[in-house]
Amino acid sequence: MDAFQMAHALESFAKQQGFVAPQAYYIVGQFSLKDAKGGSIYSDEAHLWCRECADALLSAAKPLLPEETQEDHFVCATDAINEDTCPHCMKCGETLDGTVSKYAVDEEVEHYEANPIGENDTINPRQAVEIAMILFAAPNDQDVLKIGRAALQQIEKGETK
C-alpha cells in the first residue's frame, strides 16, 4: 500500500467513525481588544478557527470595535494549505481540513519517534486524519510511511476509540 492509499484508508476510517475534518476559517483583519472584564479578544489572519468559534469570537469583538471598522472584519473560509502544524481551531482545538508543510511533517515524525504507536495504542479519528495529512505531504518519506503503517495496523486490530 502506498502513502496515498494509506492516507485515504485513514480518512475513510475517520469518516466511518463519524469524523470529517471541518473547513478551516479565518477572520479578516487583526484585532486585539479587552472585554468589560479585562479578558483578551484577539485574532489575526494567521489564526485558524472552526466556523462556530470564528463566529463567536467575531460576535464578541464587533461591539468593541469602532463602528466604522466593524464591516472590515468578517469570517472567511481558507484552504489551510502548507501549515506548519496540523491545522486546529485556535479556540476549541478541533482538527481542521488542510495540508501540512515539510516542517510539520518533521515535527510529527519527531513526535512519533519519541512516542511510537504501540501494540496497545488506539487510533482516534482525528489522529487518523492528521497522519493522513503527513502521508499526503511526504509520500516517499520512510518514517512517515512507518507511522502510517503502524496506525493502520492498530485500526485493523479493531483497537479504536
Of the chain, the percentage scoring pLDDT greater than 90 comes to 95
CA distances from 13 to 20, 47, 105, 145, 151 (A): 10, 28, 21, 17, 11
Residue 160: pLDDT band with limits 50, 70, 90: very low
Query: Of 13-17, 107-111, 146-150, 157-161, where does mean pLDDT reach its minimum?
Result: 157-161
Nearest-CA neighbor of 133 among 1, 4, 2? 4
Angle between helices 3-16 and 125-137 (to 10 degrees): 160
| Alpha helix stretches (DSSP H) within 23-156 | 51-61, 102-114, 125-137, 142-156
Note the pLDDT of residue 161: 43
pTM score over 0.75: yes
Closest C-alpha among 73, 48, 49 to residue 61: 73
